[in-house]
Amino acid sequence: MSEIDWMDTPLEEFYSQPEFGEDARTTGQMVFPHGDGTAHAVLRSLQSAVESTYGELIATRDFDRLEKTGEVPVIRNGQRGYELFDALTLRDLPAVLDTFMVLGRSERRRSGRRPSASVPSVKSGRGYVLKSDAS
């Protein structure tokens, strides 16, 4: 069994990192601190997809904040806040996905596109309820 805390390790940490020697200087080598197996590659792919999606969906003011502070919008329990992108973990994924749903609706409103049938448009007590174009 792995000793990696899969849920709470920042996804960024699954990428290669510079190796440091005993003198605290880089050795010129890159290492994967948590390993380089199939599961690690899945998490690197997930982190890359999350990064790309934020890049597509965030508004200019949020992009400026990302550039300056490294923070992205994250909606938790209906409240919008900002968190360090490099600190996002697998445990954060449900909140990040909810954020993408909200940002996607905002992006469609800005661009004047109609929402697709698969986009949640009504929030119920248990989450989002899909509302099709036919309803």
pLDDT digits (tens, 9 = 90+) for 26-40: 888 877 778 788 888
CB 95 within 8 A of CB 76: yes
| Phi and psi at residue 78, to the nearest 5° | 80, 0
Residue written as tokens 């948590």?
34
pLDDT at position 118 is 43
Q: What angle do CA 79, 85, 91 make, to 5 degrees?
A: 65
- pLDDT at 119 exceeding the cut of 50: no
pLDDT at position 120 is 36
The whole-number average pLDDT for the span 114-129 is 39
β partners of residue 82: 73
Please tell me the pTM assigned to this model: 0.71
